[in-house]
Amino acid sequence: MEQTNLALVSGANGHLGNNLVRLLLSKGIPVRASVRNIKNKLPFAGLNCEVVQADITDKASFVKALQGVDTFYAVGASFKLWAKDPRKEIYEVNMDGTRNTIEAAVEAGVRKIVYVSSIAALDYTKLPAKESNGYNPDRRDMYYNSKNDGEKLAFELAEKYAIELVAVLPAAMIGSTAFAPLNVSYNIIRLILQKQIPVETNITLNWIDVKDVAEGCYLAATKGKNGERYILANEKCTSIKETTRIAQELFPALKLKLPVAVSKPILYAVAWLMETGSKISEKAPVLTTKDIALFSGLQQNFDISKARTELGFHPKNTVEAVKEAMHYLQENEYLLN
């Protein structure tokens, strides 16, 4: 007889997906892990879970993958802030992916969906940002647009098809088990350790340990209220300069220097040069003009009282999360290359 508490995690070879698979297995929950590339076996070495091929752009693959599943953790998405064609490669992939996977879950008879959104889908005009403030009015970035519009679509479809759905909104995830290539957030820690952020951008990040986000996803599945959204973050954001200070104290031998303050025009010029180089190399630039316009000076501070109260979400503090992430990267040197 098939177990009724089977969980499917999409994007299971990604940073959050893989740590979520590990957490669910540690709680004795049977897991089916879906990935786009079934040949990438390394993230599942030693894990007692079923690995299947499914792509969010292919609804039929998810109808098949979700058979017999009780809880679907919809983690898989295009997570990048830069692409040659951002509308096609980021926005359309994430919007189609949301529709395909939720409709597939309905067809497969899934009971509950934990939809992984992002703090990108929050309104920052009033701080600290909270769930009830609504969605982000800033429409300058295709990834941000995909998370805002994708989450709205997820709730609309869940209501239309009467399927239980809870959204979680993680901040900048770092730490713990990771495989190359690192995600956007974790890569910033890598860049700091490699002395690749020489200038002060006034960009802050809200660091959160990926294991805490994985726990938050599980709590959302077990305690989250249908139709609700929960921020999975720390209360306060941290600047690149403050993050570099933590690295200086942790690894004095690296002789890290704090990023140097420069004027906005110089910052834009540096970013423009990086973007121009990226058009030739087709690799994402370290900094873009849009990053500066969108994030320089933005304070990513959150009211997480709803997640604390309703889910019992208690993340480790920022400094501890950053230190653990830096230690992990230093101990796994292949991720620093």
Contact 166, 116 (CB under 8 A): no
State percent of the chain over pLDDT 70: 99
Tell me: pLDDT of 3 over 50.
no
Tell me: pLDDT of 126 over 50.
yes
Matching residue, tokens 């200086």:
248
Q: What angle is formed at CA 272 by the lines to CA 93 and CA 282, rounded to 5 degrees?
A: 45
Tell me the domain boundaries of the chain: 7-182+206-235+300-318
The CA–CA distances, whole Å, from 54 to 59, 63, 66, 113, 147 equal 9, 9, 10, 17, 21
Residue 72: what pLDDT? 98
DSSP, res 121: G
Tell me: pLDDT of 4 over 80.
no
**What pTM does this model have?**
0.95
Residue 2: what pLDDT? 46
Name residues whose C-beta falls within 8 Å of residue 27's C-beta, 6 or more positions apart in sequence: 218
Residue 279: what pLDDT? 84
CA dist 297 and 115 (Å) reads: 29
Confidence band, pLDDT 50/70/90 cuts, at residue 258: very high
Average pLDDT in the 288-316 region?
Answer: 94
DSSP, res 296: B
Q: Where are the beta strands (DSSP E) in 92-171?
A: 112-116, 164-170
Alpha helices by DSSP H, listed for 224-263, are 240-250
CA dist 189 and 198 (Å) reads: 13
Residue 1: what pLDDT? 32
Contact 128, 235 (CB under 8 A): yes
CATH architecture of 7-182+206-235+300-318: 3-Layer(aba) Sandwich (3.40)
Phi, psi dihedrals of residue 203, rounded to the nearest 5° = -95, 130
Residue 299: what pLDDT? 92
